[in-house]
Amino acid sequence: MIEIGGKRIGEGEPVFVVAELSANHLQDLDLALKTIEAIKESGADAVKLQTYTPDTITLNVKNEHFMIKEGTLWDGQYLYDLYKKAYTPWEWHEKLFNFAKELGLVCFSSPFDKTAVDFLEELGTPAYKVASFEIVDIPLIEYIASKGKPVIISTGIATLSDIEEAIKACKRAGNEQIILLKCVSEYPTPYEDANLRTIPNMRETFGVPVGLSDHTLGIAVPIASVALGAVMVEKHFILDRNLGGPDSAFSLEPEEFKAMVSAIRQVEKALGKVSYELTERQKAMRKFSRSLFVAKDIKAGETFTEENVRSVRPAVGLHPKYLKDILGRRARFDIKAGTPLSWELVE
C-alpha cells in the first residue's frame, strides 16, 4: 500500500483527490493562498504545485523549434515566454507547503530538473509527480525515485514502451512506490480521446495502482474513472475562470470541484463489493414481487386455467414457477377471487 502524507492510496481506499494549482495563481501569491484555501473547502485531499523556472525547463531561444504551433491554446508563444508567465516562484514554495499543511492538505509537486528535486527534498515533499512530458527523461525519473518517496507518473504523451521504461527506471533506483496516471495531453481533452477503459488495463499490465490526470471539460470523466478503478484523480483548480491564465480553460472552479468530489465519494460507496446478499430493506421489499393468485371465483372441482389463476403482485401466494404445475389441476374448495394460491387449495 502506498501512503502520501498520511493518506493511503490503493484499491479499497478512498480516492486520493488532487487539485492542480499549476499557473492559476497568475503570479500573485495572495491569489495562490486564496486558491489553496478554496481547494481545502472543495474537499480535495491534496494540492499539487509545479517546480521549475523558465531556465530549468527550456532555453531562452527565439527560433522555430521553441515556438508553440501544434494547435494548442498557447500557439504563437515561445516556450520560454509561456513558462515565465506560468511558473510558481520558488520563494513561494515554503509558504504554500506550510499553508496547505495547516489546512490539513497534502502538498507535493512536479519537479522538472534535479535542482527542483533537491529543493523539494529540503521542503520535505511527501511525494513526486512526473509530468507527462517528462516521462521520457529517464535520468530525471531515476533521480526522483532515488529519494525513496512515492512517484506518480503521468502518461499524457507516453507510448507503452515509455511507461515500461519509466517504471524500470524507478525500480532500478530501488523504488516500487509507483502510481500511474492515465492522462491525455490535449488541452482541453475531447471526451472521445479519454479512453478510460485503459485504466484497468494499465493496472493489469503494470501491476501498480492507476489513477487519472484529467484535462476534459467538466466532471463526468473523473467520476467515471473511479467506477473503472482509478485510485487517484487530479484536476486543475481555479478560483474563477474569468481570471484567465494559461490553464483557465480546462480548470474547475470551486463549486464544480466540490461537486466532483461529492460525486466521487458517492461512487466509492456505490462500488461496494461483489455481493448477492439482500439487505434487510431488499428482503422487506420482496413482498411486492409476484406470486400466484386466484383471479376469478372458482368452484370446488373446477379446473385451474390461465383465466382464473394469474401471477401478480404481491408475493404472498405460491411462487410463479409453479404455474405450470397448477394448470389443469382442480380446486379442492370454493375459492374467491383475490385469494393467494396455496397447495392446500389444490387437489
Instruction: List pLDDT tens digits, range 150-207.
Output: 999 999 999 999 999 999 999 999 999 999 999 999 989 999 999 999 999 999 999 9
**pLDDT 10s digits, 46-66:** 999 999 999 999 999 989 888
Grid coordinates standing for 340? 393467494
Question: Residue 131 CA to chain centroid, in angstroms?
Answer: 18
Supply the pLDDT for residue 31: 97
Q: Low-confidence residues of the chain, pLDDT below 50?
A: none
Instruction: Delimit the CATH 3.20.20.70 region(s) of the chain.
Output: 8-52+87-271
Supply the pLDDT for residue 77: 86
Supply the pLDDT for residue 66: 87
* CATH architecture for segment(s) 280-345: Alpha-Beta Complex (3.90)
**Contact of 238 with 251, CB cutoff 8 Å:** yes
- Rounded to 5 degrees, what are φ and ψ at 190? -65, 145
- Rounded to 5 degrees, what are φ and ψ at 342? -140, 165
Supply the pLDDT for residue 104: 98
- What pTM, to 2 d.p., does this model score? 0.90
* CATH architecture for segment(s) 8-52+87-271: Alpha-Beta Barrel (3.20)
Supply the pLDDT for residue 148: 98
Instruction: Delimit the CATH 3.90.1210.10 region(s) of the chain.
Output: 280-345
Supply the pLDDT for residue 317: 97
d(CA 23, CA 236): 9
Supply the pLDDT for residue 145: 98
Supply the pLDDT for residue 89: 96
